[in-house]
Amino acid sequence: MEISVNLNTDTYCKILLIATLGLLSMHLGLNYYNHQVAETSWLLHQLFELDEENNIPTWFSSFLLLNNAFFLWIIAESHYKGFRAAENSVDHYRIHWRVLAFGFLVLAIDETAGLHETFHTAIDTNWAIFGGILVALVGLAFIPFLLSLPRTIAAWFVLAGAIFIGGAIGIEYLSKDMDEDSMSYGFAVAVEEGMEMLGALLFLFIILREMKKGQTEGE
């Protein structure tokens, strides 16, 4: 059964992109003002600082990840032609689509609950090292899945994943020894969180575009 999704992909993703850029600009503006002009108000800091938890940027990032989880699950339970490099590839790799959906759900929960921060406080080694190992193992396991997709889609998926992981793990690891009260750290946080949001948004755009294309071709 193919589930119909009546959503203007371009408009929806443009709105999410504007919101992403707005939150990043707000964070950078607040950091510049705080270090170069005067101390920012506690309320603005709590609401828009990307390095804080349970605030507007955190909820927005979680929302992006939940979007991916939701639409990936729809793909797993449907038969969208746009994701087929070979006949029945969606059906054959249904478990992979479900694992991806579950993975994005876990990331969305982690974004608001701060699970990886809790893990980080419980160990002596930076959590990014363990995260990198896990990503490498999952990536190897998903090579057959990627090869089952049309090359263009697979390439976009890899690019979106590289952007997201580069921010979540790469920048996180590189900024581990930075002074958290410095403007350079604030910039590093913007790069990290920005890459995460843009990577998730790119992935969402690709799956929505291909779902829409599959629906159009099936009409």
In a domain, 1, yes or no: no
Number of domains in the chain: 1
In a domain, 113, yes or no: yes
pLDDT of the chain along its 219 residues, tens only? 556 667 899 999 999 999 999 999 999 999 999 999 998 888 998 999 998 888 999 999 999 999 999 999 998 887 666 676 555 555 678 899 999 999 999 999 988 886 655 555 556 667 778 888 989 999 999 999 999 899 999 999 999 999 999 999 998 888 888 888 899 999 999 999 999 999 999 999 999 998 888 665 554
Alpha-carbon torsion angle 134, 136, 141, 142, nearest 10: 110
d(CA 210, CA 98): 17
The answer to whether the CB of 5 falls within 8 A of the CB of 74 is yes
pLDDT for res 177? 81
pLDDT for res 81? 64
In a domain, 4, yes or no: no
d(CA 31, CA 46): 12
d(CA 69, CA 63): 10
Domain of residue 105 covers 9-218
* Helix H or strand E encompassing 88: none
pLDDT for res 88? 52
In a domain, 195, yes or no: yes
Q: Pick from 23, 14, 68, 75: which is nearest to 44 by CA?
A: 23
pLDDT for res 212? 84
pLDDT for res 101? 96
d(CA 22, CA 46): 16
In a domain, 175, yes or no: yes
